[in-house]
Structure 1
């Protein structure tokens, strides 16, 4: 149990401590700081992830075979991003969180290319190693899948530090834990995470959010995105059971 707790806490603490050190000493903006921290800590975290998998008698789950489910993973990430954002909006969670406004400003005040590089590509990789490769994997060795997924997703949500992002991250965390479980590769949750983040960034930066969340369109789009998510999950499950040896 102590080993499991260390798997959950130490990687997150290491990433946070590195980010804090960079922020205090280099005086970079928050998004640049987090991106630089991700670049620095990812190789170290991946080393420990590989060693941890080998210790359990499993090769690191980073193979590139997705068994024909690539397009479904990307659509799944995009559709669940839309559904999750609608749920946050429906319960007016952003209006209840002052810290969310600060986090939103830290992300969207940077240039769009930097947002894509940092929030869209670099940071998701580090987070997937921490919360799925190390955290979820350690829990899964001791606990049933759904409990392991819920605990790792809850930790992922708490890590984001505010209510709207926390609720959204919990939903995403459940999906990527399932992807990691069903696909047997860290690549699947990473690509899902990238797809969700890139769509969210694109919507916010093109100013189309208000169009998408018009009151008369909200229930329809939420229902469609939920249905698409379910269809993609079914197809991913089928593809991985068939084990088609294609990308």
Structure 2
């Protein structure tokens, strides 16, 4: 591990995070200004909410696209088809299953710690989730932008600077930053844990694609649950099981029966790919 390389990596990480936050902040500001222009005094709250959601979702799509183009064009996050040539379809499937198996346990942990999102953040996400553009934003474009920045750029630079011996440091630091930028404990804890899984997948494959599948499934399930089961949006995990504790713990056990084998299979598959 070379001190000069570590310093260079630290400076790059500061640059990457600063640009990511700047693009997100400017897009959020532009979106909020656009929303205020679209608001009509004669409109009902429902109409206003749809306008708000569409505007915020579209600005999220644009900011994610700008982030993607910037990081790929500058080669801060190199993109190639090399990993796809290995035909890693099994890795993709297990990555999706890993995401599915993590959803209920993570929700259970967040509830037990008694963490909730700030009301403003909750309202913003709800307005985005209610529109079709919301899925393009939160389900597709945001995962792409975040994986490009946090794994394709930040973790790649750290791995190169720290070497194989310190690979877990290169996994934990991007996951920690990923959690912190969410600016609230409820989302931050979930982002940190998911970030560890995403970072582990990247370190095993040197590709953002398996993590992108995991991220996409995680966000897609959240979007589907919000729209298919609106009664759950203000509820607890126990409400999903109609107040039945036995069913809830059975659901958690079933989730772990997906999560643990998926983790094991990914460890095997990615090890085979390395060899």
Q: TM-score, normalised by structure 1?
A: 0.84
Greater Rg, structure 1 or structure 2? 2
Aligned partner of 1:193 in structure 2 is 215
Structure 1 residues 40 and 235 mapped into 2: Cα distance closer, same or farther (>3 Å)?
same
Q: CA RMSD in A?
A: 2.4
Structure 1 residues 119 and 219 mapped into 2: Cα distance closer, same or farther (>3 Å)?
same
How far 1:20 sits from its partner (Å)?
2.8
Q: Which has the higher contact order (CA 8 A, sep 6+)?
A: 1
Aligned partner of 1:116 in structure 2 is 135
Q: How does 1:1-247 map to 2 (within 5 A)?
A: 1-25=6-30, 27-28=33-34, 29-48=55-74, 50=75, 60=80, 63-64=83-84, 65-94=87-116, 97=117, 99=118, 101-110=119-128, 111-143=130-162, 144-207=166-229, 209=232, 210=235, 211-212=239-240, 214=243, 216=245, 217-243=247-273
How far 1:62 sits from its partner (Å)?
6.5
CA deviation digits over 1:84-138, x for unaligned, max 9? 12211121111xx5x3x32221122123422211010001100001111111122
Deviates more, 1:219-228 or 1:172-181: 219-228
Counterparts of 1:84 and 1:11, CA distance in 2 = 28
Aligned partner of 2:39 in structure 1 is none
Counterparts of 1:215 and 1:159, CA distance in 2 = 36
Task: Name stretches of at least 5 consecutive residues in structure 2 with no aligned partner.
Answer: 1-5, 35-54
Task: Name stretches of at least 5 consecutive residues in structure 1 with no aligned partner.
Answer: 54-58
**1:67/1:239 contact within 8 Å kept:** no
Counterparts of 1:30 and 1:20, CA distance in 2 = 12
Counterparts of 2:214 and 2:191, CA distance in 1 = 13
Structure 1 residues 184 and 235 mapped into 2: Cα distance closer, same or farther (>3 Å)?
same
Residue-pair matches, total: 234
Counterparts of 2:93 and 2:77, CA distance in 1 = 30
Counterparts of 1:152 and 1:25, CA distance in 2 = 27
Aligned partner of 1:56 in structure 2 is none
Counterparts of 2:216 and 2:9, CA distance in 1 = 27
Counterparts of 1:171 and 1:160, CA distance in 2 = 13
Counterparts of 2:190 and 2:64, CA distance in 1 = 21
Counterparts of 1:9 and 1:212, CA distance in 2 = 41
Structure 1 residues 220 and 62 mapped into 2: Cα distance closer, same or farther (>3 Å)?
farther
Runs of 4+ in 1 over 4 A off after TM superposition: 59-62
Structure 1 residues 14 and 215 mapped into 2: Cα distance closer, same or farther (>3 Å)?
farther
Q: TM-score, normalised by structure 2?
A: 0.76
Counterparts of 2:210 and 2:102, CA distance in 1 = 15
